[in-house]
C-alpha cells in the first residue's frame, strides 16, 4: 500500500488570508486522517506565507496521537532545521527552494549540493528522523543520495503531470519507473509528489514500490468539487492496490 500524505499548505494559505485561525489547520488535518489519509505533509517556507513554523508543533502532536507520520519539507535554513529538530517529525524532506520561490520546481543537484547536504542528513539521522531528498527523475546516479546519508528520495512529478494524457506521457512514465528502480537498487525508499491528482495518480502508481505520495493543491481543488470524504475515498482506492514493499 502506498501511503497518502495530505499536504495542507493551501489550507494554511486560506487561513492566513483572513488573519485568524479559520480554517484551523490542525482540525482540517484531523478530518483528513478521519477520512482515510495516511499522513500529513507541511512545507513551511521562510516567509511563512502559508504554513507557519508554529503549525509544526500542533501537527506533530496530532500525528503522534493518531499513530501516523508527519512529513515536514522545505529548504534547510537554520530556522527550518531548528523547528525540525525541536519537534522531530517522522520524516524531513529537503527541497531546494529559493526563499521567494512560488512553488517547488526542481530537485537537488546531487553532485553540486552533496557537501551542503551531507552534514544536515547526518544531523537528521542522529535524531532518528527519516530523511528524503527532492530529486528530478532524470537524476542518473541515485546512489549519491544514499552515499551522502539520505534514506529516501522524493521524485518531483510535475513533468509526468504536465504530459499526462499526451503522446509524450508513456516515455516520461517509463523514465520515472527507471528512476525509481535506480533509487531502489541503491537502497533508497521512493516517495513522489507535485501535481499528482485523482486523474493521473493511478497510472503513476503502476510504478512498483512507491512508498508515499504527497498531494496538496489538487486535493483542495478536488475537495471543493466533490467534498473531502469522497475525495479521500477515491484516493484510498487508488493507493491501496499498489502494495509498497
CATH classification of the domain holding 204: 3.20.20.70
pLDDT for residue 245: 39
SS3 (DSSP) at 106: coil
Question: For residues 70 and 88, is the Cβ–Cβ distance under 8 A?
Answer: no
Q: Find the angle CA(204)-CA(103)-CA(22) to the nearest 5 degrees.
A: 100
State how far the Cα of 186 lies from the Cα of 93, in Å rounded to an integer: 18
Question: For residues 220 and 190, is the Cβ–Cβ distance under 8 A?
Answer: no
Burial 10-36 (b: 16+ CB within 10 A, else e): bbbeebbeeeeeeeebbebbbbbbebb
53 inside domain:
yes
145 inside domain:
yes
245 inside domain:
no
DSSP code per residue over 51-71: S-HHHHHHHHHHHHHHT-EEE
Q: Among all chains, which residue has been given the C-alpha cell 486535493?
A: 219
22 inside domain:
yes
Tally of domains in the chain = 1
Cell numbers for 86, please give them.
Answer: 525541536
Burial class (CB in 10 A: 0-12, 13-18, 19+), 216: buried
pLDDT tens, position by position, for the chain (245 residues)?
899 999 999 999 999 998 889 999 999 999 999 999 999 999 998 888 889 999 999 999 999 999 999 999 999 999 999 999 999 999 999 999 866 655 666 799 999 999 999 999 999 999 999 999 999 999 999 999 999 999 999 999 999 999 999 999 999 999 999 999 999 999 999 999 999 999 999 999 999 999 999 999 999 999 999 999 999 999 999 998 754 43
Burial class (CB in 10 A: 0-12, 13-18, 19+), 225: exposed
244 inside domain:
no
- Active site members: 43, 73, 194
Full domain range(s) for residue 151: 3-239
Amino acid at each position: 500500500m502506498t501511503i497518502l500524505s495530505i499536504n495542507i499548505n493551501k489550507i494554511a494559505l486560506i487561513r492566513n488570508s483572513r488573519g485568524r485561525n479559520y480554517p484551523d489547520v490542525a482540525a482540517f488535518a484531523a478530518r483528513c486522517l478521519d477520512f482515510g489519509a495516511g499522513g500529513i505533509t507541511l512545507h513551511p517556507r521562510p516567509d511563512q506565507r502559508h504554513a507557519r513554523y508554529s503549525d509544526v508543533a500542533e501537527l506533530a502532536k496530532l500525528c503522534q496521537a493518531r499513530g501516523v507520520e508527519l512529513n515536514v519539507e522545505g529548504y534547510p535554513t537554520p530556522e527550518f532545521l531548528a523547528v525540525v529538530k525541536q519537534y522531530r517529525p517522522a520524516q524531513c524532506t529537503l527541497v531546494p527552494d529559493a526563499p521567494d520561490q512560488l512553488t517547488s520546481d526542481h530537485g537537488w543537484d546531487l553532485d553540486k549540493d552533496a557537501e551542503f547536504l551531507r552534514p544536515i542528513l547526518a544531523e537528521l539521522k542522529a535524531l532518528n528522523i527519516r530523511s528524503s531528498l527532492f530529486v528530478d527523475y532524470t537524476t542518473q546516479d541515485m546512489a549519491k543520495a544514499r552515499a551522502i546519508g539520505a534514506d529516501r528520495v522524493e521524485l518531483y512529478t510535475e513533468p509526468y503531470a504536465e504530459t499526462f494524457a499526451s503522446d509524450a506521457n508513456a516515455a516520461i512514465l517509463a523514465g520515472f519507473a527507471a528512476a525509481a528502480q535506480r533509487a531502489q537498487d541503491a537502497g533508497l525508499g521512493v516517495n513522489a509528489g507535485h501535481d499528482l491528482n485523482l486523474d493521473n495518480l493511478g497510472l503513476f502508481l503502476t510504478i512498483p514500490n512507491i512508498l508515499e505520495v504527497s498531494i496538496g493543491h489538487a486535493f483542495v481543488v478536488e475537495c471543493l468539487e466533490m467534498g473531502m470524504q469522497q475525495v479521500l475515498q477515491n484516493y484510498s482506492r487508488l493507493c491501496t492496490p499498489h502494495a509498497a514493499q
